[in-house]
Structure 1
Amino acid sequence: MKKLLIIVAQALVLMFAPTLAFAQQPQRFSDPEIYEKDYFRKECKTVDFGPVFIKRFDINNDGMLDLVSNQSEVTCDGVRGPRCASEGCRYNFYVQIKEGGYVMVATAQLYHYDFVQYFGNMVFELTMHPRFCGRTDAAPCEMRVRVRGLDFNILSKK
């Protein structure tokens, strides 16, 4: 009986292993701009997208154009930045992949960001609520982040 249970358990593992591996794959978007705009078109009766709602530039230094969406640039039913709060606004970061399409690599609640050269590499300087740096004081958290492949690597934070 014990042997039978082990065989059944092994068979179940083999059956579900491909499903588990598939579930871990990141969601791929053919065009994140369409995805983001469609989301707000469903949520709002009237919607307007500001001129820098979407920015396309190479965020991971691989030569392909990536995309950053800035939800403070959305006006939904007359309210600008409807999902913004005292802790900032949501930004979504998408990386274009060689296989085609884009993968969302990060979502962050930010006051703003700059994309600057730092020791020869382009990096993000993120400004956000101090709690995101584990602080309780009032000074904004400043974080320097480099994107490599599909990973955000924190270089420094203060």
Structure 2
Amino acid sequence: MKYLLLATLQIALLFAAPASSFGQQQLISDPEIYEKEHFKKRCGTVEYGPKFIDRIDINNDGIIDAVANEGDLSCDGTRGPDCTADGCPHNFYLQVKEGGYFMIATAQLYGYDFLKRFGNMVFVLKMHPRFCERTDSEPCQMTVRVRGTKFLTISKK
């Protein structure tokens, strides 16, 4: 009886798993609207700076993607309300051919540069030194490129 109950539970979870993973991959129409709606609900007064949304092709597929920088907004007079000593949250969104976007990553960063190296666009992420296994005060500079939906680390210094 115990094994039958366990088997039934496992089958139920197996059928529920695809539905739950589909829920995590819901496309949003526009990351800027999505992010702004989030902060409108959270804050009484919100002000967005010019670098709040950066529209660039982050994975070199010819389709313009988006990066949201939560450090370039004020929420009830507080600049970057979720910023810490590790930096400010940055959300990375990919646009799909069929229309819509989905978030592929979020990271606490001081900032980033988006540069062309060896014919490909790459990020130089400026982060807390501990992300480069260091204890000094100089920011970690991690060079990464996005292939498909994955960040691939090229170098750290």
Name the TM-score, length of structure 1 as normaliser. Answer: 0.88
- 2:62 corresponding residue in structure 1: 63
Offset of residue 91 of structure 1:
0.6
SS in 2 for 1:105: strand
Following the alignment from structure 1 to structure 2, what is the Cα–Cα distance between the partners of residues 136 and 24? 38
SS in 2 for 1:125: strand
| Equivalent residues in 2 for 1:36-55, closer than 5 Å | 36-55=35-54
**Amino acid aligned to 1:16:** L
Following the alignment from structure 2 to structure 1, what is the Cα–Cα distance between the partners of residues 101 and 117? 25
Question: Residues 65 and 76 (structure 1 numbering): CA distance in 2 closer, same or farther, change over 3 Å?
Answer: same
RMSD between aligned residues? 1.8
| Equivalent residues in 2 for 1:9-158, closer than 5 Å | 9-25=6-22, 26-28=24-26, 29-158=28-157
**Amino acid aligned to 1:114:** D
Following the alignment from structure 2 to structure 1, what is the Cα–Cα distance between the partners of residues 15 and 100? 23
SS in 1 for 2:91: strand
**Amino acid aligned to 2:53:** I
Offset of residue 17 of structure 1:
1.7
Following the alignment from structure 1 to structure 2, what is the Cα–Cα distance between the partners of residues 140 and 16? 44
Following the alignment from structure 2 to structure 1, what is the Cα–Cα distance between the partners of residues 8 and 58? 44
Identity %: 56
**Structure 1, unpaired ranges of 5+:** none
Following the alignment from structure 1 to structure 2, what is the Cα–Cα distance between the partners of residues 143 and 126? 5
Runs of 4 or more, structure 1, over 4 Å off, are: 8-11
Question: Residues 134 and 24 (structure 1 numbering): CA distance in 2 closer, same or farther, change over 3 Å?
Answer: farther
Following the alignment from structure 1 to structure 2, what is the Cα–Cα distance between the partners of residues 18 and 139? 49
Offset of residue 117 of structure 1:
0.6
Name the TM-score, length of structure 2 as normaliser. Answer: 0.89
Question: Residues 114 and 24 (structure 1 numbering): CA distance in 2 closer, same or farther, change over 3 Å?
Answer: same
Deviations 1:80-127, CA, capped at 9 Å, x for gaps: 212222221111000112343211111111111010011111010001
Count of paired positions? 155
Radius of gyration: which is bigger? 1
Question: Residues 35 and 62 (structure 1 numbering): CA distance in 2 closer, same or farther, change over 3 Å?
Answer: same
